[in-house]
Structure formats: structure tokens, C-alpha cells
Amino acid sequence: MNDRLNVLLLGSGGREAAIAWKLSQSPLMGKFFIAPGNAGTSAYGTNLDIRPTDFDAVYAAVAEHGIDLVVAGNEDPLVKGLREQLEAKAAAENRRLLIVGPGAAGAALEGSKDFAKQFMGRYDIPTARHLTVTAGTVAEGDAFLESLKAPYVLKADGLAAGKGVLIIDNLDEAKASLREMLAGQFGAASAKVVIEEFLTGIECSVFVLTDGKGRYVVLPPAKDYKRVGEGDTGLNTGGMGSVCPPPIADDEFMRKVDERVIRRTLDGLISENIDYRGFIFLGLIRCGDEPYVIEYNVRMGDPETESVMPRIVSDLLPVLVEAAEGELRHDSLETDPRTAVAVMAVSGGYPEAYRKGLEITGELAPAESLVFHAGTRLDAEGRILTDGGRVLAAVSYGDSISDAAEKSYRALAGINFDGMYFRRDIGQDLLKF
């Protein structure tokens, strides 16, 4: 593989900005496109105004630009069959096309929580006790809720834009919510509801890149901060910051994750004839010293990727190619020993109503930090405007979590938009470990 590769990365968030930043440094990179990208990704490649779920348009870009490798950033196109569609179109034209991201069968690990739970059951992968309920089995759902202790966890089976998980303190409210969900609170996504035992512990995200044949590399682990408020208070968001690596993911914990979660998951996929080539994101909770799977995702995490990518020293592009070819030769990645902390700046009001189109000013290329754009766009005059709730992430390296976080806060102090907000306690909870 000495030739350069033309690459198309799908997505537009901070995750894709971080992946684009990393891939753009590869000596193997030929032409690089991001669809649709954001104001920041245009510094790493060429943005294409294409929706990742518009498979005809994605394939037209593949053909027009001679793309060798497509990397799926987010889950939605994968769950909808991106891989199958692109492969069929490429085969019809005798085009060799590599794709990072599973087919729809593998993407069901994220697209259906019921499937994921059954899968974990079949392969003895540690997870919370659970029951899947439909409109016809509400009484069993009630009985299962009664067997659990508060709080109660209710999850819509299907994709619900990250909003389909409810954690409820009161049994009667949980029963009422179960009925609302089954009646269509999240549309078809909650026609089935998974009821789960609540697990107490510290969450941690582990990312695996696999080639569908049981070979894999583990990326640096990270922890994200989902609540909008300091001290983990307030509403859930897409993520307010991340720390890589979190001290809770020590060697012994990662050894258990490898043995009980990663290997069993990959063996299970092979047993079920699911040719999974791409990232698997293990959303874990550490209860005591033991890992449990909260959820699978079929992509990298956001905002974890913003702190994970900067710590990968190895060239990632050949590793992606090997995974997509089904011939992974790397078994590990060289990593930077420092800690990286990403702090997300969001638009005032997020995750509830917030404004868009606010001009972003200040130092967007600070000396001590990286700035990854998320919800940003360029206007006709070349100004950078906010274009989403999560606007940009400042990421810094440090010898400690506090050191890295302080640098990220300093970077954000030099950036401004109306109503800009960020948490100032990213990683604080980890200092006691």
C-alpha cells in the first residue's frame, strides 16, 4: 500500500473534526473530503455539501473524486445501510471501495438496544439485568420494574437522537413512562422498551477498531461528561468534555474489558456471520472493579474522539485501511503518554432552545491547545458562525488532568461568541483516583 489514498469522511461534528485533523497528517493521504464537515474541517480537507444519509450523493462523490476509503463518522447512515448501498453501487461499476463502518446487521448493536441486550446475553458479556417490553407485555414490564430497586432505567429500543433513555426515581412514574414510551413517545423507536437495572459506578468509553475477523486494536480509553452543569447536574447533553485516559481505566480494568467484553463481542459477531469492519464503542460502567456494558455504539464517541485522537501517535490511516480490507496487521497503536482534556463550548441555553448564527471571534488556533470545530459554519464573507448547540472543543495535553484542563480553559477564555458556556470541572471527579 504505497499509493496515496483519496478519503471521504462522513459527518460534521467535533468528532469528525478530530478524525479529520488526525487523518490529514498522514503521509498516505491523497485527496481528502469531509461531507458535510464544518467551518473547521475545511482546514484539513475539502468540505462537500452532502448529507451522509443521501447515499446516491455520497456515491456520486465517491465516483467523481476517485475515493478509495469512506469513513463513517456517525451511526445514522450505517444503521440505514450505508455499507450495503455503497458496496452494491461500487460493485456495479467494478470499483474497489473500502469502508470503515459496519453493515446494517452490525450497526444494530447501536440501532436496537433489544438486539444489543440479547447479543450480550448470548455471549455472556456483562451488562445490567433487563427485560424488553412491547405493548402486549406491559404487565410483565410492571412486574420486572417491581423486582428492581429505584432508580429505574427505561430505554427506547431504536435510535432516538440520544434522548431515548429515561432514568426515573419513582416506581409509579416509571410504569407511567413505560406506557407513554410504548404509545409512541419516541415514535417507532420506542415500540419496544428495554427496562434495565440501574448500575452505580463510573462510566468509561472504550473504542475498538476491528476487521471482521477477530483482529482488533484498542484506542486510548476516555471518559465523557454528559450533563450540562458542573458537578454532573442538569440535563443530559451530547457531551460537554472528555478526559483521555481516565485513571479508572487502569491496566487491570482494561484487561477485564479485553477478556470479558472485547473478545466476547468480536467472537459473537463472527459466530453470527456479521462481517463487522469498523469502530465499536463500548459504553462501560465500572462498578467496583468490574466492567459492565451500558451500550454499544458503532462509531467513535463525541466528545471522546476530541481527546482520543490527539493521543494517537501512530498514523491512523493505514490502520483504518487494514480494518476496512479485513486484514488488520496492527495490533496496537503508539500513544502519547500525556493526558488530553477536551472542553466543549456550547451555545447558551443548550441542550434546550439556543441560538445559531452567532459570530465566533478570538484565537481559534491557540499555541497551547487544539480547537476542534463542532457546530460551526462559514458565511459568505468568511466569518465563522455558530451552527449548533455544541460549538467547538478546546483540547490540550498536560502532565495531569488538571494541567490539561487548565490549558483548555485558557484557550476558551480567548474565544468568544454571544452566550458561550462551558463547564469548568471537566475531569475533577477523577482526581481522587
What is the rounded CA–CA span in Å between residue 184 and residue 302? Answer: 28
Binding residues vs ligand GLY (CB under 6 A): 224, 239, 297, 301-302, 304
Q: Which is nearer to ligand AMP, 282 or 321 (CB)?
A: 282
Q: Which is nearer to ligand AMP, 162 or 357 (CB)?
A: 162
Q: What are the backbone angles phi and psi of residue 175, rounded to the nearest 5°?
A: -65, -40
Q: Which is nearer to ligand AMP, 352 or 381 (CB)?
A: 352
Contact 317, 23 (CB under 8 A): yes
Question: Hunting for cell 424488553 — which residue is that?
Answer: 132
CA distances from 72 to 303, 326, 399 (A): 16, 16, 32
153 binds, among ligand GLY, ligand AMP, none (CB under 5 to 8 A by kind): ligand AMP
Residues with Cβ within 8 Å of 52's Cβ and at least 6 positions away in sequence, in order, are: 10, 11, 35, 36, 58, 72, 73, 74, 76, 77, 82
State yes or no: cis peptide before 245, omega within 30 of 0: yes
165 binds, among ligand GLY, ligand AMP, none (CB under 5 to 8 A by kind): ligand AMP
Minimum CB distance to ligand GLY, residue 333 (Å): 20
What is the rounded CA–CA span in Å between residue 4 and residue 172? Answer: 60
71 binds, among ligand AMP, ligand GLY, none (CB under 5 to 8 A by kind): none
- Residue 395 gets which letter from DSSP? E
Residues with Cβ within 8 Å of 171's Cβ and at least 6 positions away in sequence, in order, are: 145, 146, 150, 152
Minimum CB distance to ligand GLY, residue 257 (Å): 17
What is the rounded CA–CA span in Å between residue 12 and residue 47? Answer: 9
Q: Which is nearer to ligand GLY, 207 or 276 (CB)?
A: 207
Q: In degrees, to the nearest 5, what angle opens at C-alpha 324 toward C-alphas 320 and 327?
A: 95
Minimum CB distance to ligand AMP, residue 340 (Å): 21
Minimum CB distance to ligand AMP, residue 341 (Å): 19
Q: In degrees, to the nearest 5, what angle opens at C-alpha 171 toward C-alphas 166 and 172?
A: 100
Task: Based on DSSP, count helices (H) and strands (E) in the chain, helices before strands.
Answer: 13, 24
Minimum CB distance to ligand GLY, residue 303 (Å): 6
294 binds, among ligand AMP, ligand GLY, none (CB under 5 to 8 A by kind): ligand AMP
224 binds, among ligand AMP, ligand GLY, none (CB under 5 to 8 A by kind): ligand GLY
211 binds, among ligand AMP, ligand GLY, none (CB under 5 to 8 A by kind): none
Q: What are the backbone angles phi and psi of residue 407, rounded to the nearest 5°?
A: -65, -40
Minimum CB distance to ligand AMP, residue 224 (Å): 8
What is the rounded CA–CA span in Å between residue 372 and residue 392? Answer: 6
What is the rounded CA–CA span in Å between residue 211 and residue 267? Answer: 12
| Helix (H) or strand (E) segment spanning residue 79 | helix 75-79
Minimum CB distance to ligand AMP, residue 129 (Å): 9
Q: Which is nearer to ligand GLY, 220 or 301 (CB)?
A: 301
Question: Hunting for cell 451522509 — which residue is that?
Answer: 52
What is the rounded CA–CA span in Å between residue 330 and residue 322? Answer: 8
Q: Which is nearer to ligand GLY, 16 or 304 (CB)?
A: 304
The CB-nearest residue to ligand GLY is 301
Q: Which is nearer to ligand GLY, 224 or 322 (CB)?
A: 224
Q: Which is nearer to ligand AMP, 221 or 366 (CB)?
A: 221
Q: Which is nearer to ligand AMP, 57 or 287 (CB)?
A: 287
Minimum CB distance to ligand GLY, residue 293 (Å): 13
Minimum CB distance to ligand GLY, residue 224 (Å): 4
Packing angle between helix 14-24 and helix 316-325, nearest 10 degrees? 100
157 binds, among ligand GLY, ligand AMP, none (CB under 5 to 8 A by kind): none
306 binds, among ligand GLY, ligand AMP, none (CB under 5 to 8 A by kind): none
Q: What is the CB neighbour count within 10 angstroms for residue 295? A: 17
Binding residues vs ligand AMP (CB under 6 A): 128, 153, 162, 165, 196, 198-199, 203, 226, 283, 294-295
